[in-house]
Structure 1
Amino acid sequence: MAVTLVTDRVPRRKVRDRHHRGASRWVVLALVTLGAVIMLVPFVFMLLNAFKSPGDYSSSGPLSWPTEFYTKGLKTYWTEVNFPLKFWNSLLISGSVAVLAVAVSLFNAYALGIGRVKGRLWIVGLFLLANMMPQEALIYPLYYAAKEIGLYNTQLSVIIIFTVIQSAFGTYLLASVLGTFPRSVLEAAALDGAGKWTVLRRVVFPNVRPTLAVLLIFFFIWTWNEFLIPLVMLIDNSTQTIPVALASLQGDRLMDAPTTNAGALISLVPAVLFFIIFQRTLSRGITAGAEK
């Protein structure tokens, strides 16, 4: 007896593609695109005015298209502020702060989140309070302390200050993450004879490495853009950073707008390149943190 298969006659349920979810998806996409365009408008104006002559800027204003390709502003900023030296100072300070702040945050959070030291909640609250304190309230004590110990007008003073400031946020964040670390994993490592340093190196660090990568990127960019503390602590031209050098172009009664825009454009390029290079690392770190 022949058996007729009727499975092909059963209508298959249509699976909806994730790229076709109705009009709401397109509305959200349009709003995000509009927000991105609005955020890019100041950068477009900066790019236009960076290649505009002072006479063209004075006669036509900042919103007009340049009548000539003016590059003297770029050359003036490059030579007057000694941009290669300022770039090295910013790179040295930001890179050192990023690495040291991540290391200090990891050690502090390991003691608070996994070590369960006494008064853990109070200590974490103090780190949160320190992170919320404005820099204006810290500048005078930091200034006099640097004067007393002989670190004033040195990159080391700024590195120490921002390492403490950034690690306050990193400690608060990592302590919350490590506070929920599975105790069974730690107990299994202890049964295998692993000490505290071995647990930190082989168990904790591999699991929080994506979060550490995100903190490293944020600490670098935040320190790169800092202005107030480097302005007060670094008075010598050979120790100043890029934001301080950019502010030096603005006089009391006279400001060369094309040169200032050119300087802002050059100063922005390293941070943008750093973000583009580590964008994938940032995305993976955020995704891994969300999954955990």
Structure 2
Amino acid sequence: MRGPGRWAVLFALVVLAVVMIFPFVIVAMNAVKSPAEYSSNGPLSLPEGLYLQGIVDFWNRVEFGVKLWNSLVISASVSVLAVVLSVLNAYALGIGRVKGRLWILVLFLVANTLPQEALAYPLYYLAKAAGLYDTRLAVIIVMTAIQAAFGTYLLSAVLGQFPKEILEAASIDGAGRLRSLLRIVVPISRPTLSVLLIFFFIWTWNEFFLPLIFLISNDTQTVPVALGVLQGQRYMDATMSSASALLGIVPAVAFFLIFQRTLTRGVTVGAIK
């Protein structure tokens, strides 16, 4: 694409980027304003200086370090376990061609369409009966199953197109199914698995509803739950609310920026394949 059309597309992308970044900039500016400055100048004014007391007060008041660690442990565990489970399921469905493969994939597809509200009641009582209520392990198990359902459905379609000649050559050389999976399928599918890992981490990090139900104590809550619960408190002024939103966004954004090249490479390789 050359000429005016190229510049029009570039201009549209710049405008879209500004629109998406603008709310984050507003939150960041208000997070470093004092309450008096916010009241006198409004939310759209530039800060006159760096007022970090709101961030410090919020961090100490909600024990944000504990919430951050809980979110990190849950998100990292879910992303890794969900990818491993998705690979094992998809290897059996996409390459192994087990009996009833179509109906199993339909079951995974239906599981992805179920609203979480419909799962809250049975999962709550299952966690109570198993003695896992108000533990991070309960959220890890539930979220791993939910994310793995999507990962299995996606990877089954990808591995269904996997070249059979490679696997047959490995079988002739004496490689079993597990060795073929670990030495051939996983390395070749690594870009797709990397994309799934990143998305699973971000989706789990931003999850609010199920952690709100399962994690009720202050020592087990995640960052989104802590932010959601505290937004309605009267002692949260505008600058402290902005500080809480900024602290909740920054870790996910940092993770995305760190693995942005991996994500781009995985999407590009998948498109070329």
For the superposition of Structure 1 and Structure 2, which TM-score range results when normalised by the shorter chain?
over 0.9
Pairing 1:50–2:50 present: no
Structure 1 position 217 matched with structure 2 position 198: yes
Partner AA of 1:87 in structure 2:
L
The alignment status of 1:117 with 2:98, answered yes or no, reads yes
Q: TM-score, normalised by structure 1?
A: 0.89
* 2:12 equivalent to 1:31: yes
Give the letter aligned to residue 165 of structure 1.
Answer: I
CA distance in 2, matches of 1:57, 1:139: 40
Amino acid at match of 2:172: L
Instruction: Name the counterpart of 2:152.
Output: 171
Which of 186, 211, 218 is matched with 2:167 structurally?
Answer: 186
> Runs of 5+ in structure 2 lacking a partner?
none
Q: In structure 2, what residue type is equivalent to 1:247? A: G
Counterpart-to-counterpart distance in 2, 1:287 and 1:174: 16
My pick for the range that moved more, 128-137 or 152-161, is 128-137
The residue type paired with residue 276 of structure 1 is: L
Distance 2:216 2:126 in 1: 16
Distance 1:106 1:230 in 2: 26
- How far residue 264 of structure 1 moved from its aligned partner, in angstroms, is 1.2
Structure 1 residues 110-148: Cα deviation after superposition (integer angstroms, max 9, x where no partner): 000000011111111111111121211111111111111
Contact 1:153–1:234 (CA<8 Å) still a contact in 2?
Answer: yes
Q: Does 1:202 align with 2:183?
A: yes
Alignment of 1:71-150 (within 5 A): 71-150=52-131
1:230 to 187, 191, 211: 211
Does the 8 Å CA contact 1:246/1:264 hold for their aligned counterparts? yes
| CA offsets 1:9-34 (integer angstroms, 9 cap, x no match) | xxxxxxxxxxx822211111111111
Q: Which amino acid aligns with 1:176?
A: A
Q: Note the C-alpha offset of 1:58.
A: 3.4
- Mapped partners of 1:288, 1:66: distance in 2: 44
Distance in 2 between the 1:275 and 1:65 partners?
A: 27
Matched, 1:267 2:240: no
Aligned to 2:237: 256
**The one of 159, 165, 170 aligned to 2:140:** 159
User: What count of residue pairs does the alignment treat as equivalent?
Assistant: 273
Cα separation, 2, equivalents of 1:135 and 1:254: 31
**What code does the residue aligned with 2:130 have?**
I
Aligned twin of 1:17: none
2:207 counterpart SS class? coil
Match of 2:42 among 55, 61, 65: 61
Larger Rg: 1
State the distance in 2 between where 1:258 and 1:131 align: 38
Contact 1:250–1:256, Cα closer than 8 Å, also in 2: no
Q: Provide the rounded CA distance (Å) in 1 between the counterparts of 2:56 and 2:235.
A: 19
Between 272-281 and 60-69, report the one with greater CA deviation. Answer: 60-69
Task: Tell me if structure 2 keeps the 8 A contact 1:49–1:66.
Answer: yes
Deviation of residue 60 (structure 1)?
A: 3.6
- Listed as ranges, the gaps of 5+ residues in structure 1 are 1-19
Deviations 1:56-101 (A, max 9, x none): 3334432233345322210111101111111111110000001000
Alignment of 1:235-246 (within 5 A): 235-246=216-227
Return the letter of the residue paired with 1:187: E
Range that drifts further, 107-116 or 184-193? 184-193
Per-residue deviation, 1:252: 5.5
Paired residue secondary structure (2:189): helix
What is the identity percentage for the equivalent residue pairs of Structure 1 and Structure 2?
62
Q: Residues 162-199 of structure 1, C-alpha deviation per residue, up to 9 Å, x if partnerless?
A: 10010111001100000111122222222222111111
